[in-house]
Amino acid sequence: PTQELDAMFKLRCGKAQRGKCTFMDCLATNKELQADEFKTWCTNFAQLFKQHVPFPPEYQVEELVDLLMRIRTNGLGFPCDDKHGTLGWSLDLYASFMDHSCAPNCKVDMDAQGRLVVKALENIEVGSPLLISYVDLESRTQAERKEHL
């Protein structure tokens, strides 16, 4: 990772579980903002998953619930726009740390090899935040974007 990402890991990580800070430790769950229906779905899914897939002994159902919430909070849908619908989700080392703006200065796109890339939409001054839109600005109305967020 770059020096900036290393600093972000240290800032967001705080106390790391299992002794070492990882990328996943830095991603928020936003548990307090998640809908009760989604929390219930995550718990039910994790319990069902554990019944059918052996968990390593050091992992608990709550950790799978936590992972599902981190993916929902930080995941980027691709192909990154609503034209074709969302085909899948990605936790990208760089893009997952970018904040939302309705007037973004960057966008997340997919290159010919299927990798997520971050592209500047305008000249960005050194030290300025890199901002992306969490929703497709082109195919949604302002009311739809607000509801989606």
Alpha helices in the chain (DSSP H): 3-13, 23-26, 36-52, 61-74, 142-148
Share of the chain above pLDDT 90, in %: 14
Share of the chain above pLDDT 70, in %: 65
Rounded to whole angstroms, what are the CA distances from 53 to 45, 49, 56, 104? 12, 6, 10, 41
Residue 17 confidence class, pLDDT cut points 50, 70, 90: very low
Contact 132, 100 (CB under 8 A): yes
Summarised one tens digit per residue, pLDDT across range 36-66 is: 998 999 999 999 998 898 878 888 888 889 8
Count of beta carbons in the 10 Å neighbourhood of residue 50: 14
- Nearest of 132, 145, 146, 148 to residue 98 by alpha carbon: 132
